[in-house]
Structure 1
Amino acid sequence: MLGLIRLIAVLILSAALASPGQAFDTSAKSAFVVDVGTGTVLLAKNADEPLPPASMSKLMTLYVAFEALREGRLSMSETLSVSQQAMSYGGSTMFLDTTDKVTVEDLLRGIIVLSGNDACVVIAEALSPDGTEAGFARFMTQRAQKMGMTNSTFTNSNGWPNADHKMSMRDLALLARRIIEDFPEYYPMFAETEFAFDGRAPQNTQNRNPLLKAGIGADGLKTGHTQAAGYGLVGSAKQGDRRVIFVISGIDSAAKRAEEAANLVNWAFRQFSEANVVKAGTEIARANVWMGMQSSVGLTTADDIRTLVPVLGGNEINGEVVYTGPVRAPIAKGDQVAELLFAPEGLPQMRVPLVATDDVARGGFTVRLKTVAQLLLARLQQGPEGAL
C-alpha cells in the first residue's frame, strides 16, 4: 500500500544555475572542496576512495590530542619522554632523542608546523590505551569511525607509509572541519609559519603549507608527501564570512601542489556566491497523510537553507520533495517526514530534511471507516487484478 511519492517544487533564487564552464578541472588524483557555511560540495573527485594520506593523517593524532587536553588527560605544560621508537623515525622530525623531555605545547607545534614524525609518536604513546603507537593507531581508527570517517584506517600516528594506512579526501575534509569547529582555541596554531624548537635544525623551522603567506585567507591545515601518495594538502581559507575546506592528493610536485591549491581557493571564492533556498518555517509542499484528522501536512525546513551558486547563471533551481507515503498519523510538528533534493547545475546534489509544519492527530472511528470505504471503492474500480 505504501510507495515512494515524488513531488517537484521549483525554488526561485537570487542567483542560480551554472553556466557550463564553471567546473574546476583539477590535476589531483583525488580532491574534495566544500563551503563550510552552506555545506555545498563544490568539487568531489575520487573523494571516497581510501588512499595513502601521508602526513595529512597527522590531523587525526592532533584531534585526539586536543580532546585529551580538553578532558584534562593532557596539559600544555606537561612534559613527555621520548622513546626509542619515536626517535627512530626519519623523514620530517623535530630531531628528538631519548634524553629529551618535551612539553605537549612544543610537541603540538612540532607536529603542526614541522610535521614531526617523532613528535606524533611521543603524543601517541602517552595517550595509547596500551602505551604503544600501534595501540594508539587502533584507537584512532575507532574514533574516526565514530566521527563518521568510514574510509579511514590507521596503522601509525604520523602517516608513515603502510599499505593499510589510508584515508579518503572526504574524511580528511570532515576531520579538518571538526578541528576548526571543535577546537577554536587550538586552531590558530595551524596558521603559524615558523617554529624554531630549541634551536635545533635552523634550516627546518618553516611551515610547509604553501598558502599561509599567499594572501588568500589560508589559515591551515596540513601538507603531506610520500612516494606512494604524491603531494597533498588539507587546507582551509576564509574570506569575509565564507570559509572553504579543500583536500587534494596525488599531485606531481610541491610547486604544482601550491599552484593547484591556490587556484582552487580562488575558484571557490570568486566563482560562487551564497543564495537563499528555503526560509525556515516556509511551507514548500504537502505530504499525504494516512488515517489522520487531516488528509495532508505541510513540509518545511527546520533551519534556513542556503547554498552556493555560480555567479554566472539563471535564477531557478529545481528541487524534488521525496517521501514514503502516505505518512501514517499521528504526526508531531517538527517530525522529519521527507527530504528536499536539489542541485545547482554542475554541483553535487544536496539533501535537506523536511519536517511537518503542524501536528496531525490520528483519526477516530469515522475517519478510519471512511478510509476503509475509499480503499474498497478504489479496489473495485481497479478490478480483480487491481492493487493498492
Structure 2
Amino acid sequence: MKRLIALVLAVAGSMSALAQAPQPPEVAARSYILMDLSSNKVLAEREADAPNDPASLTKLMTAYLAFNALKEKKLTLEQKVPVSVRAWSERKGDPSLMFIDTTMTPTVDELLHGVIIQSGNDASVAIAEAVGGTVENFVAMMNRQAQAWGLKNTSFTNPTGMTQPGHRSSARDIAVIAMHIVKDHPEYYPLYSIKEYKYNNIKQDNRNLLLRRDPTVDGMKTGYTDAAGYCLVASAIRDFPNGKRRLVSVVMGTASREARATESQKLLNWGFAAWDAIKLFDAGKPVATVPVWKGVAKEAKLGAAGPVFVTMPKGEGDKLQTKVERTDPLVAPLPKGQRVGTIKVSTTGGVPVAEVPLVVMEPVEQAGIVGRAWDALRLWIK
C-alpha cells in the first residue's frame, strides 16, 4: 500500500508571521498587472481580469504563432512572402504601418521586424496569411492557443488589434502571452529590444519609450486605439546577487504615450525594490535521495525539473520552510522526469507560498527477475 512521506528540508529564521505584502504605488491605468517571471508570482494587480480592447498588444499573439511556425520549420526567416491586397488595404484604416505593397515580397524576418518594432497592421496581416493561409484560419489559431493556455478573458477577431466587436483581452491574459514569448522563444525575444527599423526607405522608432529611458528594459509592445487608450507591456531584467530577475508589467487604458511609460516604469521599479526573488534549489540539484524497490539502483535522486524561485517581500526571505511530500514505496522502473510528489514552500507561519512537482532526476531501470522477486517479498513482509 502506498503511503505519503513528508520531510521538512529546511527552516530558516524567525518563527514570526510573514509581514503584509508591500503596497503597490498608485497607477493611473484602467487595469494593470505586474509579474515576476522567475517565480510566476503576481506582485500587484488591479482589474487584471477585466476584458478590454487590447489594441496592438494583440500582436504579441500574432508574433508568437509566427515564432511557432519558425520553430516547427513551416516557415524560414529568409522566406519571401507575397503581399496580398488585403494586407495592403490596411493602410486605408490606420497609420500604424510597415508600408508594404503588392509589388513587394518582404521576408518573414522583415515582416517580424515590421510587426514588432513598427507595429505594422499590414505586416501583421501578411504574417497571418503566411502562417495560417488565410487571416480567418490564423485568427482561429490565435483563439485555440488562447484556449490552450486557459485565457478566459481573451477572444481574437483579427491579428492586428483593430477595434472590432468581440475582440478583447485582459491585463492578466496579455501577461501570460508575453511570458510565453520570453520562455518559449528566447531566440526571437531580442527583436522586442530593437529601438528603430527602416523598411521601404521609411525609418520608424519603436514606440516603447522605456527602451531609451531604462537600460534594463528590453521589450515588449505598445498599443493604442480610441477604445483601448494607451497600453504597454514592458519587460525588464536586472542583476541581483542570486542571479538575473525579470519582471513584466502590463498597463491598459492610460491617457497618453508618456503616461503608459511612466506608469510602467513606476511598477517595475517598485517590483524590483519591494520584493526579493529567493532561489531555493538550483537546476539539476537533488533535494532528496530515497530508497527504490525492484530497481537496478537502490536509491533515486528526486528534485525539481528546473531551478526553484519564490518571490517574497523585501527582507522576508528568512521566513520560509520547504517540505517534500512523496509517495512510498517507489517501485522501478522510474523514468527521468516522472512526478512522484510535491515540493511545498510555505512561511514558517504556515502560509503557502509555492508548490512545485517533485520528479525523478535520474532514471532507475527495473531489476532482473531475481531482484524483483526478492524486493517483492521484502515489501510483502514490510
- 1:314-355 deviation per Cα after TM superposition (whole angstroms, max 9, x unaligned): 6221445556x666756748642221232569x983221124
Of 104, 121, 127, the match for 1:101: 104
In 1: Cα distance, 2:163 partner to 2:49 partner: 20
Deviations 1:221-244 (A, max 9, x none): 101223443332222112235242
Question: What is residue 250 of structure 2 aligned with on the other side?
Answer: 248
Cα–Cα, structure 1 residues 318 and 32, in superposed 2: closer, same or farther, change >3 Å? farther
Q: Secondary structure at the match of 1:20?
A: coil
Contact 1:277 1:306 in 2 (8 A): yes
Distance 1:284 1:49, change over 3 A: farther
Task: Provide Cα deviations, 1:276-326, integer angstroms capped at 9, x if missing partner.
Answer: 324665556989x99xxxxx9996445443333333336221445556x66
Alignment of 1:86-125 (within 5 A): 86-88=88-90, 90-94=93-97, 96=99, 98-104=101-107, 105-125=109-129
Aligned to 1:313: 316
CA contact under 8 A between 2:301 and 2:360: conserved in structure 1? yes
1:109 maps to a residue whose letter is H
Name the CA distance, whole Å, in 2 between partners of 1:312 and 1:207: 37
**Any idea what SS the aligned residue of 2:197 has?**
coil
- Residue aligning to 2:217: 218
Q: Is the 8 A contact 2:278 2:312 kept in 1?
A: yes
Q: Which amino acid aligns with 2:238?
A: Q
Aligned amino acid, residue 234 of structure 2: G
Whichever residue aligns with residue 260 of structure 2, its letter is R
Cα deviation digits, residues 65-120 of structure 1 (max 9, x gap): 23334515244462422414541452342264754414134332222222111221
Is the partner of 1:103 in helix, strand or coil? coil
Counterparts of 1:1-388 in structure 2 under 5 Å? 10-12=10-12, 19-20=19-20, 22-25=22-25, 27=27, 28-36=29-37, 38-43=38-43, 45=45, 46-47=47-48, 50-70=51-71, 71=73, 73-76=75-78, 78-84=80-86, 86-88=88-90, 90-94=93-97, 96=99, 98-104=101-107, 105-129=109-133, 132-146=134-148, 148=149, 150-151=151-152, 152-200=154-202, 205-240=204-239, 241-254=243-256, 255-278=258-281, 283=287, 300-313=303-316, 315-319=318-322, 321-322=324-325, 332=334, 335-342=338-345, 349-355=353-359
Say if 2:100 and 2:123, in contact at 8 Å, map to a contact too: no
Give, as a single letter, the amino acid of the residue that structure 2 aligns with 1:140.
M
Q: 3-state DSSP class of the match of 2:196?
A: coil
RMSD value, Cα: 4.3
Counterpart-to-counterpart distance in 1, 2:137 and 2:305: 42
Structure 2 counterpart SS, 1:275: strand
Structure 1 letter corresponding to 2:272: F
Question: Partner of 1:375 in structure 2?
Answer: none
Q: Distance in 2 between matches of 1:186 and 1:154?
A: 23
SS in 1 for 2:315: coil
Q: Is the 8 A contact 1:232 1:247 kept in 2?
A: no
Counterparts of 1:357 and 1:213, CA distance in 2: 43
1-side partners of 2:77 and 2:317: how far apart?
54
Q: Rate the CA distance shift 1:149–1:230 in 2: closer, same or farther, 3 A.
A: farther
What 5-or-longer segments of structure 2 have no aligned partner?
294-298
Give the AA of the match of 1:353. Answer: P
- Amino acid of the residue matched to residue 12 of structure 1? A
TM-score in terms of structure 2 length? 0.74
| C-alpha deviation, 1:209, in angstroms | 0.7
Q: CA deviation at 1:189?
A: 2.6
Q: Which amino acid aligns with 2:128?
A: A
**Residues 25-55 of structure 1: per-residue CA shift (max 9 Å, x gap):** 453444333333x324142535555543221
The verdict on how the C-alpha distance between 1:343 and 1:121 changes in structure 2, with shifts beyond 3 A counting, is farther
2:296 aligned residue: none
CA change 1:181–1:314 in 2 (3 A) is: closer
AA of the residue aligned to 2:113: R
Q: Distance in 1 between matches of 2:238 and 2:361?
A: 36
Q: Point out the structure with max Rg over C-alpha.
A: 1
Query: Scaled by the length of structure 1, what TM-score is found?
Result: 0.73
Q: Return the alpha-carbon distance in structure 2 between the equivalents of residues 189 and 332 of structure 1.
A: 41
**Structure 2 CA distance for partners of 1:168 and 1:338, relative to 1, 3 Å:** farther
> Given that residues 302 and 359 in structure 2 are in contact (C-alpha distance below 8 angstroms), is that contact kept between their aligned partners in structure 1?
yes
| Native 8 Å contact 1:18 1:314 kept in 2 | no
The code of the aligned residue for 2:62 comes to: T
Kept after mapping to 2: 8 A contact 1:82/1:96: no
Report sequence identity in percent.
Answer: 30
